[in-house]
Amino acid sequence: MLIGDGKVGSVAVRRAARLLLYVGAAAIVFGLGKVHAAQIAEPPYDYTSSFRFGWSIFYVTLLCGAAYGLGLPDLARGWRSAAGMALGSSLAASLGISTVQIVLGSAVLPRFTIFGAAVLVLPWFVGCAAVSSGGRMRQEGRGRVVLVAPAEDAAALRADLERNPERPAKLVAVIAPDLARSTNTVRPLTEAAKAAGASVLVLGRLAQLDSTTVQQAAELHEAGVRVRTLSLFYEEWLGKMPLPELERMALMFDIGELHRARYGRMKRGIDIVVALLALAVLPAVVILVLLGNLIGNRGPLFFRQVRVGRYATTFTIYKFRTMRPGDGSGSWTATDDPRVTPFGRFLRRCHLDELPQALNLLQGAISVVGPRPEQVHYVEELTKKIPFYGLRHLVRPGITGWAQVKYTYGADEADALEKLQYDFYYLRHQGLGLDARVVGRTLRSIAGRSGR
């Protein structure tokens, strides 16, 4: 039995759940604002023409951003998890708008709208999480992959699927390319896919060269099985480019920052806005970090280091120091690096150590999203050992990036090669949509969540 997609796939269900969450939050806030303006306020006023309509949009943005940052609707595992996420996002948004009102000294939104929406979104967010959860379970049930490739490719794919795939899937069968070929009486690939209940057939490079294997793949496609090359499967299901394809695919795509001028200008404009906002709060954070350093991180306030930027030029990066003085370079950084001080660990967990990079951001040395800026000696070593490694320097490095949210700290050259596969995916698909996904996942990471 082969498993088809049906009219409405689980991916569409999960996307619909996200859309419902955002539309529902907007309807609740705008509805309460309209009710307050027409029936509660004295005297009544035209809601859509008032300044409060604009602040309602801001409040909706806070609600939706907090929900996404905490993992709604995709990451909830059961109603208790969903309820906790919903409550957290509701409190964060209401506290956020309340803080704005205190700073401005003006009631930009009535309490009726703020607290009414904070209560009403709770069951709505939980319901959207339930819809998304149903779609996720159906998706996990259908992601049954049959691979036609050598054993080493199968081992790499199985390991990648167990880490953090973009779409959940399970490798249920592996067939060597020479064993997948058909004859007049035997169709081994077709039979194996049917026996495994395959929903996705993945063809490695050698399998794509055999006409009988491709013919069987066409028959399976007609029966409702998705057919992908190994490269396309890695991109769609794993968000990376497979190691065997790096050399072949390295030059066969446009890079948004280089080849789409409008995107490049918009990306730079966003960087400047973010830099100015970060610089506005930097003085207050400097005071807090100074106090923290006096207690648990004695030494210089800032960390400076030469990194490699766009077009392989070098620049000095600025961060709040998180390691013991003198321990900031010389070896790879690990997730639980023993050189990091207790207060430095807090700064890293909250990503506050990155705030001084607003200076680099404003000068154009880095971007909000891009490949990680590496130290000069690492780049020199890796450029000699890894083909096309220098291509990652065709764009500005980033404070955060696709490789950073998909993979842990690089601890050696093998990790650098792994992260390069994610960097190439980012270069191939660079755009405002992917940049927004990276920022969203970074916020989820700060909030202690993960996933899509």
- Sequential pLDDT tens for the chain (452 residues): 444 444 345 667 878 888 999 999 999 999 999 999 999 998 999 999 999 999 999 999 999 988 888 888 887 777 888 888 899 899 989 988 988 888 888 889 999 999 999 999 999 999 998 888 766 555 555 589 999 999 999 999 999 998 878 888 899 999 999 999 998 889 999 999 999 999 999 999 899 999 999 999 999 999 989 999 999 999 999 999 887 666 666 667 888 888 888 999 999 999 999 999 899 889 989 999 999 888 888 888 999 999 999 999 999 999 999 988 765 555 666 656 778 888 888 888 888 899 999 999 999 999 999 999 999 999 999 888 887 888 899 999 999 999 999 887 666 778 888 898 999 999 999 999 899 889 888 887 776 555 45
Is the distance from CB of 388 to CB of 246 less than 8 angstroms? yes
Q: CA geometry: angle at 378 spanning 400 and 368, to 5°?
A: 15
How far CA 421 is from CA of 177, 376, 387, in Å, comes to 24, 20, 12
Cα Rg for the chain, rounded, in angstroms? 25
Q: CA geometry: angle at 225 spanning 5 and 247, to 5°?
A: 115
Helix 413-429 to helix 376-385 angle (10° resolution) is 90
Dist. CA 22–CA 64, nearest whole Å: 6
Q: What is the pLDDT of residue 6?
A: 44
Q: What is the pLDDT of residue 327?
A: 59
Which of 138, 8, 123 has its CA nearest to residue 73?
123
Dist. CA 227–CA 209, nearest whole Å: 15
Q: What is the pLDDT of residue 85?
A: 87
| H-state helical runs in 71-110 | 79-104
Is the distance from CB of 21 to CB of 29 less than 8 angstroms? no
In this structure, what token pair is assigned to residue 302?
């800032």
Rounding to the nearest 10 degrees, give the CA dihedral for residues 358, 281, 301, 294: -160
Question: How are beta strands 170-175 and 226-229 bridged, if at all?
Answer: unpaired
Q: What is the pLDDT of residue 355?
A: 93
Dist. CA 83–CA 339, nearest whole Å: 38
SS3 content of the chain, % helix, strand, coil (to 5): 65, 10, 25
Phi first, then psi: give them for residue 229, nearest 5 degrees.
Answer: -75, 165
How many C-beta atoms surround the C-beta of residue 10 within 10 A?
Answer: 22
Dist. CA 397–CA 426, nearest whole Å: 12
Go through the chain and tell me how many residues it has. Answer: 452
SS3 187: coil
How far CA 441 is from CA of 82, 129, 424, in Å, comes to 18, 18, 18
Is the distance from CB of 67 to CB of 21 less than 8 angstroms? yes
Q: What is the pLDDT of residue 330?
A: 56
In this structure, what token pair is assigned to residue 233?
């499967």
How far CA 132 is from CA of 22, 167, 281, 333, 363, in Å, comes to 13, 14, 37, 37, 42
In this structure, what token pair is assigned to residue 336?
């639980």
